Amino acid sequence: MRRGLAILAAVLCIAAAADPAERLADPSQEARARAIFQEVRCLVCQNESIDDSQAELAADLRRLVRDEIKAGRTDQQVRAYLVSRYGEFVLLKPAFSLGNAALWGAPFAVVGLGLLLWRGNLRRRRAVDSEDLSPEEAKRLAGLADDAER
């Protein structure tokens, strides 16, 4: 019984989330719009799609997507329009590009460079530590050791 109430509440919340007045008359167009909603980031919430967000900007973006679909644009054209207007950040899964690869790869490159520098520094220290002392340095070191014992 309790599980049935939870399911009913979830269905009612989902049904209340989308205003029927905003929906497109054609069910196939509405389905296309909903699919795009899942791919577009709410610019206010930043970690939610515009389908999940209750922000006013998300509602504006949903209207914009529906208007574009109603105007006969393809899904790709709608996405391209949103990217041209808001930048690639508007997509939850941005397309692969050299700029994105550099953005994601830069932290790994910095850490790798740091490890290489650290390794080189350790090698240099070991090389200096392992060098034999000259006779003068050995005599001086022995004198310092004798002074320390007194």
pLDDT band at 7 (very low <50, low <70, confident <90, very high): low
**Which amino acid, one-letter code, is at 9?**
A
Sign of torsion, CA 102 107 111 117? positive
Inform me whether the pLDDT recorded for 109 exceeds 90.
Answer: yes
Per-residue pLDDT reduced to its tens digit, 44-66? 887 888 988 899 999 999 999 99
Q: Identify the burial level of 51 via C-beta atoms within 10 angstroms of its C-beta, where 0-12 means exposed, 13-18 middle and 19 or more buried.
A: buried
Per-residue pLDDT reduced to its tens digit, 8-35? 444 444 444 455 667 777 788 889 999 9
Question: Is the distance from CB of 62 to CB of 55 less than 8 angstroms?
Answer: no
User: Looking at domain 2-90, what is its CATH homologous superfamily?
Assistant: Cytochrome C biogenesis protein (1.10.8.640)
Mean pLDDT over 58-82 rounds to: 92
Cα separation, 92 vs 74, whole angstroms: 19
- How do the domains of the chain map onto residue ranges? 2-90, 98-149
Contacts of 82 (CB under 8 A, 6+ apart): 40, 61, 64, 65, 90, 91
Give residue 16's pLDDT: 42
